[in-house]
Amino acid sequence: MSSTVWTLLQAVLLMMIFAIIYISIRTMLLWAWPIRVVLPFQRLREMLARQRKYRVLRSLLLVPRQESSLEELRGLLTACGLPIDAVNYTAVKRLLVLFGTLILGVSYLGWDRHWIEGMLLVWVMIVAGGSLLLIGCDRMLLRALREQRRARIVQDVQTISSQLLYYKRSRLNLHGQLQRCIPLASYIRKEMQLLVNEWYEGSHEAIRRFRERLATDEAIDFAETLNALHQYGSDRYYDLLEERIHSYKEKLALIRDGRKEATSYVLFLLSGIPIMYTFIIFIYPWVAESRYIFDSLG
């Protein structure tokens, strides 16, 4: 009976692994090479398809009942610069949690019935438990990624703003000034190049797309400043630009202090690794031997 149950559990685990790998590979391929087929009423069909997919996932308890509860996650993913749908992210996350919990349950059952023993059990528990811990801390990791991206954006925006301030008395128009600022950007060079290329199609639309691509408060302020400089170009808005340069410097100082605190916290967590390694090497064999002796006595 035990061998039949174990075979069924292995079949279920293999099916879940195949499903997760298929969904992950399909999502990555669609992200790398999106399907862009122009069809009549394409937006309406895409909206209906998204609603239908959400109803299916909601019936499987893979997403919240109300899609509005995913707005915070959607904004967080956008601020991290990740082109991932919040619905797909939540569904995959819950599948991974279910898969990890099932692995822990099967491992405990195998330990209780002597199917899995020794160091294999320890490593399975560590990997599954660590994976569940990382999945549970995904919001914290995403916020850390957002702050890192935000710091790099602030650094580039400060550099570009300082260069624009240098062109205050120049006869170049704003488009020419931005074009000369592209080599100074490192992290947002692609977005700056797109801004300059889309400028001739409409400056307001180009600035709006630039703001949406970066999706941070500092980028929004910078885009508003660019819009004001393009419309008016008076010295008053260059004074505003200078004030925001000082604001960017203060934000960069705060971000550096926050990084130091985060680094000290990570080092504190990493200090627990030797303790876990000591348990695996020295303490666990004694526990296993004691359990074997008590089982033999029983």
- 181, 111 contact by CB (below 8 A): no
Task: Check residue 117 and give its pLDDT.
Answer: 67
Q: Is 153 exposed, middle or buried (0-12, 13-18, 19+ CB in 10 A)?
A: buried
Q: Which of 64, 70, 63 is nearest to 91 (CA)?
A: 63
Per-residue pLDDT tens digits of the chain, which is 298 residues long: 456 656 666 666 677 777 777 777 776 666 666 555 545 566 666 666 777 777 777 777 777 877 777 888 888 888 888 888 888 888 888 888 888 888 888 777 777 776 666 666 777 777 777 888 888 888 888 888 888 888 888 888 888 888 888 887 778 888 888 888 889 888 888 989 999 998 888 888 888 899 888 888 888 888 888 888 888 766 677 777 788 888 888 887 777 777 677 677 667 666 766 766 666 666 666 766 777 777 777 6
Which one-letter DSSP state was computed for residue 187? Answer: S
Query: Measured between alpha carbons, how far is 175 from 276 in angstroms, rounded to an integer?
Result: 58
**Residue-range domain boundaries for the chain:** 2-33+42-136, 147-258
Distance from CA of residue 208 to its chain's centroid?
23
Instruction: Work out the widest C-alpha separation in the chain, in whole angstroms.
Output: 94
Task: Check residue 4 and give its pLDDT.
Answer: 66
Structure tokens at 85: 């749908």
Residue 112 identity (one-letter amino acid):
D
The residues near 92 (Cβ < 8 Å, ≥ 6 apart) are 20, 23, 24, 27
Q: Is 107 exposed, middle or buried (0-12, 13-18, 19+ CB in 10 A)?
A: buried
Query: Measured between alpha carbons, how far is 171 from 169 in angstroms, rounded to an integer?
Result: 7
Q: 188-227 burial by CB neighbour count: b if 16+ within 10 A, else e?
A: beebbeebbebbeeebeebbebbbeebbbebbebbbebbb
At CA 54, angle to CA 29 and CA 71, rounded to 5? 90
Q: Which of 138, 158, 140 is nearest to 150 (CA)?
A: 158
Whole-Å CA distances, 230 to 156, 172, 176, 209, 221? 20, 12, 12, 16, 14
